[in-house]
Amino acid sequence: MLTVDDDPAVSRAVARDLRRRYGEEFRIVRAESGAEALDALRELKLRGDQVAVLLADHRMPGMTGIEFLEAAMDVFPAARRILLTAYADTDVAIDAVNVVDLDHYLLKPWQPPEEKFYPVVDAQLDAWRAVAPAAVAEAKLVGHRWSARSTQVREFLARNQVPYRWFASDSAEGERLLEAAGVGADRVPVVVTADGEVLVGPGDAELAQRVGLQVAPTDDFYDLLVVGGGPAGLSAAVYGASEGLRTALVERVATGGQAGQSSRIENYLGFPDGLSGAQLTDRARRQAVRFGAEIVLAQEAVELEVTGSSKTVRFADGRVIGAHCVLLANGVEYRELGAPGCAELTGRGVYYGSALTQAAACEGQDVVVVGGANSAGQAALYLVRGARSVTMLVRGDSLAAGMSHYLVEQIEAHPRITVRTGSQVVAARGDDHLDAVVVRDAAGAEEVLPTSWVFVFIGARPRTDWLDGIVARDDFGFVLAGHDLLVDGRGPAGWALDRPPYHLETSTPGVFVAGDVRSQSAKRVASAVGEGAMAVMLVHRYLEQL
């Protein structure tokens, strides 16, 4: 409840009577000018609080009570509005009922409050409770749906399990939040944290820190440093920490990797009804933390240095972390469409692995999924729940070549999913957002396919350039390990020790690799989890020799 009156004595009296009856349920905020009260309302809006009742004195210098209530409607339209006025201003109060949709006016003095004040406020509270919106305790994100950075921020918050509520910048509530923050719509995305802090166009590191994620390690040296937080990295963090290793996991964006973005994993051992990638990721992350592993987010590894038995990883912000052993589990990233227009429209209709975040916006729309592997199939089945139709563009001759049989059966049986084999996107069209894609079939014929939503799953490439000259990689950039290091059967390439490399050990002793980033890996969640656990066993063997 907020009360505003320029007379300090009257202001205190109103607040006193409100606290006496409503103080246990409501916080009473008092202001002595309209401008001060509006500032208080904007702060409450940013913090996600709700205002039930506004009581304003009519005769105030600078801004009358009616002017204040009119301005307050733009910030909290559901709040009940009461004007405090003298008998001489009754006509003005009656006129205000039509001007600012005034809910009630009270004549001063209102003593005794039990007869003249509380019954009025009680009635207004009953009316407010009937329509009051739920309080927003989460972070709030205001952005434009065709803004690439707005999409990235949504992805970052969602994948890191940060509760947030999305508001389009041109929606009524979005405009109220921007006004309360004093930020123009041209500067979105804007994030308002749960405690009311305003972040304008934040980078991932700043955003992570402000919403309470750990962005810096607590120590500078560990037994095991895991780079990458996909299934392999999380598995290694769980087993490493549970077996007594000082373990830190550092992730560039969010734990879970590509698997964490999967809408449904149905062939993972022990889950006959399936589970989402987010569920699997959340359970594994909590499990790792419970055993004592540190999980550091929004840090990108850029350099690996080896000095004797010590390994040091340098990150983009200049931080360095040392360890006896390093596990490379940084996975892969989706390959991008190289067709004209795709790069310019990324995040504005062309998306890579964003099916979960954007699915609600696709309701009733015609959606295109590009790709023919499991991730594409899972996305198509998830998106079609709300989309009017889903068209899958597959470059190969059939889905069976790259997709699990159970997914192929579900897709072929769905009436709103169309599969077009031998097809590829050769151009994307649109100005501020995607309008259509140009599709070429196996015979070379081209067709313009109208759509504002394209989700791309056309394979992946490893993020291993930062390892150049340190560990051996294959021609595609995947890290070689164990037996794959053998060259023509003559022995390990660049291997300096008498013993052969362990199964998951790279060409640099004490540096291991697991998951999708490893050359010839199975590219399945179960195998990645197994490799993460196996890597910890091999780390123990290595440490025993130091």
Report the share of the chain in percent with pLDDT over 90. Answer: 69
| Residue 99 binned pLDDT confidence (cut-offs 50, 70, 90) | low
- Whether the Cβ atoms of residue 10 and residue 30 lie closer than 8 Å to each other: no
DSSP characters over 411-464: HHH-TTEEEEET-EEEEEEESSSEEEEEEE-TTS-EEEEE-SEEEE---EEE--
Is the pLDDT score of 307 beyond 60? yes
Burial of 45 (0-12, 13-18, 19+ CB in 10 A): buried
The hierarchical CATH code for the domain 139-210 is: 3.40.30.10
Q: Which residues make Cβ contacts (< 8 Å) with residue 526, sequence separation at least 6?
A: 268, 269
What fold does the segment set 2-131 form as a domain? Rossmann fold (3.40.50)
The CATH superfamily label for domain 221-333+461-544 reads FAD/NAD(P)-binding domain (3.50.50.60)
pLDDT in tens, 149-173: 999 999 999 889 888 999 999 999 9
Task: State the Cα–Cα distance between residues 229 and 249, nearest whole angstrom.
Answer: 7
Share of the chain above pLDDT 70, in %: 96
pLDDT of residue 490: 45
Q: Any idea what DSSP says for residue 275?
A: B
Mean pLDDT of the chain: 91
Query: Is the CB of residue 463 less than 8 Å from the CB of residue 482?
Result: no
Q: Measure the CA–CA gap between 6 and 14, rounded to whole angstroms.
A: 12
**pTM of this structure:** 0.78
- As a whole number, mean pLDDT of residues 101-107 equals 83
Same fold, 221-333+461-544 and 350-458: yes
Would you place residue 355 in the very low, low, confident or very high pLDDT band (cuts 50, 70, 90)?
Answer: confident
Q: Angle, to 10 degrees, between the axis of helix 34-46 and the axis of helix 172-181?
A: 120
Q: Is the pLDDT of residue 181 over 90?
A: yes
Residue 389 burial class via C-beta count within 10 angstroms: exposed 0-12, middle 13-18, buried 19 and up: middle
Distance CA 224, CA 504 (A): 14
- Read off the pLDDT band of 224 (50, 70, 90): very high
pLDDT greater than 60 at residue 367? yes
Please give the CATH number for the structural domain made up of 350-458: 3.50.50.60
Count Cβ atoms within 10 A of the Cβ of residue 431 and give its class: 0-12 exposed, 13-18 middle, 19 or more buried: exposed
> What's the mean pLDDT in 291-313?
95
Secondary structure element (H or E) that encloses residue 369, with its range: strand 366-370
Q: Between 356 and 24, where is the model more confident?
A: 24
Region of poorest pLDDT, from 143-152, 453-462, 480-489: 480-489
- Domain parsing of the chain, residue ranges: 2-131, 139-210, 221-333+461-544, 350-458
What's the chain's length in residues? 546
pLDDT digits (tens, 9 = 90+) for 371-423: 999 999 999 999 999 999 999 999 999 999 889 999 999 999 999 999 999 99
Structure tokens at 503: 């199964």
Residue 356, pLDDT above cutoff 90: no
CA angle 522, 526, 529 (to 5 degrees): 100
**pLDDT tens digit string along 256-283?**
988 888 878 888 888 888 888 888 999 9
226, 288 contact by CB (below 8 A): no
Task: Give me the mean pLDDT over the 14-37 stretch.
Answer: 93
Per-residue tokens: 283: 């359970």
